[in-house]
Amino acid sequence: MFDWLRTLLLPFENPSVIQSLIVIMLAIGSGIFFGRLKIAKVSLGVSAVMFTGLILGHLGYRIQYEILDFIRDFGLILFVYAIGIQVGPSFFSSFRSEGLKFNILAVSCVLLGALITFIIFKISGVSIENLVGIMSGAVTNTPGLGAAKSTLQEIQTRFPDRVYDDPAIGYAITYPIGVLGIIFTIIISKIILKIHPEKEMRLFRMAKIKTELPVISQKIRITNAAAVGKTLQQLIEENGKNIVISRIKHSGSEAVFSPTLDTAVRMRDVLMIVGLQKDLEEFTKTVGRPSTDQFIETGSEITLKNFFVTKPSAMHKTLADLDLYSKYDLKVTRVFRAGKEMLARPSFELFYGDKVRIVGTEESLKEAERIIGNSEKKLMEPDFLSLFGGLLIGIIIGSIPIMIPSLPVPIKLGFAAGPLITALFISRYGGISFIHSYINNGAIYFMKDLGICLFFAAVGIHAGEGFYENFIKNNGWTWLLYGSAVTFIPLILMVIIGRAFMKINFLQLAGIMSGSYTDPAALSFSTTYLDSDVPLQSYAQVYPLVTIFRIFVAQILILLLV
């Protein structure tokens, strides 16, 4: 009576399409459930899908090989593309401050792990395929494993008579060491270094105040006789400051309006100015003093409104190109992008999804909406043409063969680095033609988690087929020892160098450790354990470059030593 149910749920050596899909859903569903369970504030999150996949594979569950390859590669592509779109803006801008220092430390950690892997290869007799899998698992780097498997498939196609080991076995064996190793290092480092998260948070905020000043607004009254009669253009040029004057109220008048640069100021005029605090303070000292006038904010027809850029007529246009003031008497004061607030300068280029703050009359603001868009509903709808266009470009770039002398096959960016680099540049430059960088946060998190779940399920089930036999055959305890060397030696040196020599805030250092090992489970633990979101920022700063380096390192080790 229930034969149909047994057919769906029991393992089969040669499963049908529907049986393969059921296995994938079982692996992901059960993995998500167990990943939410916490032991001493630690949870595996989506990483648990890898382990439930291993168990199902060990119990005899299988996926059709064609479906398995598709699920694994497509999941990896979705995951890295979402990461690139998410961290792209902050990744490039971080290099102007502390990001360069963070990335040097993180990339050095990657290269040290590769050196340790090479030394183990020379002294152990373990194949480089297995060691690359051990290395990828020990640093929880999924894209590196994907790159290694793609490279081996390329070599196998070129030399069909050769037989290679599956790096996924070593990856599965050492993956727990990678996850728990970072968590253990963070805990021990905090104890030994006597870290107090509250104190580190205060130091972090003080450092940010000095380096990242926010854009603010201020009211000033003209009291300096030397400024009277001059135009706003002259006052700004004489002081050489990057400020925007959004409103003006002449002395003795109740009328508030958005001024042009050739507007002349009078004694005791009140101005509303926008810019960095230091620039505002120096400008104020030159022309007058701060004002407490309330009427300039509320008592006029001039209002302030935020608009989302959703129309092609505004995308990739500078504010000077739109010329909103000359045409519609509108003043743009600020632009918000990827959570960052920026001063609106004439040369500022608008991207799809930017939020623009505009000052003007109700009538003129309607004209701004006609040009800029402001359709929040449109931003909530996924633009599949843009999304899959970006994925297509990423796959094409990842498939370009790069010929290097003495290597048996060309090196490729692959399904991991190709979409990642494409997403980074699309995010940085706002898009290419109809492909734009904006994806709402909910869609990004969904795409990222769906992608990594599909990849973990496929890799785990495949590796679980002979996991126990391979663990016994290859002396898995020895492999765990090798993985521990790759995990702990770079981490310990990173803590010593980062804290003692580079003087990096411990909250940021925890994020760099998690980002260097591309480990979301460790990141989740660090934010909870240290009660701070600071690790998220440094994690995002190092993740893209580290991922690219780990992909290349995995490929080069395979190509040089296989």
pLDDT at 547: 83
Q: Is residue 276 part of a domain?
A: yes
Question: Does 88 score more than 80 pLDDT?
Answer: no
Residue 58 located in a structural domain: no
pLDDT at residue 298, as a whole number: 60
CA distance 104 to 88: 18
Average pLDDT rounded to a whole number, residues 212-227: 77
pLDDT at 444: 82
Going by their DSSP bridges, the two strands 256-257 and 288-290 should be labelled as unpaired
Percent of the chain scored above 90 by pLDDT?
Answer: 8
What was the pLDDT predicted at 325? Answer: 67
Tokens 């009660």 belong to residue: 531
Q: Point out the least confidently predicted range of 7-11, 139-143, 153-157, 199-203.
A: 7-11
Structural domain of residue 313, as residue ranges?
A: 212-377
Residue 139 located in a structural domain: no
In a domain, 511, yes or no: no
Question: Mean pLDDT for the chain?
Answer: 80
- Helix H or strand E encompassing 222: strand 215-222
Count Cα neighbours of 536 within 13 Å in the Cβ-side half-sphere.
Answer: 9
Q: Does residue 232 form part of some domain?
A: yes
Query: For the residues 496-510, what does the mean pLDDT come to?
Result: 90
Task: Tell me if 299 is assigned to some domain.
Answer: yes
pTM of this prediction?
0.73
Residue 326 falls within a domain, yes or no?
yes
The pLDDT-based confidence of 59 (bands split at 50, 70, 90) is confident
Predicted confidence (pLDDT) at residue 528 exceeds the cutoff of 60: yes
HEC-encoded secondary structure of 491-531: HHHHHHHHHHHCCCCHHHHHHHHHHHCCCHHHHHHHHHHCC
Tell me, yes or no, whether 179 lies in a domain.
no
- The pLDDT of residue 496 is 93
For residue 41, what pLDDT is reported? Answer: 64
Residue 273 has pLDDT above 70, yes or no: yes
Residue 68 has pLDDT above 70, yes or no: yes
Helices (H), 255-380: 277-287, 295-298, 319-322, 324-328, 362-372, 376-380
Total number of domains in the chain:
1
Output the pLDDT for position 107: 93
- The tokens describing 324, both together, are 């909103």
pLDDT tens digits, 328-341: 667 787 787 766 77
| CATH code (residue 367) | 3.30.70.1450
Strand order in the sheet with 288-290: 256-257, 243-249, 270-276, 215-222, 288-290
Q: What is the pLDDT of residue 532?
A: 76
Q: What is the pLDDT of residue 105?
A: 93
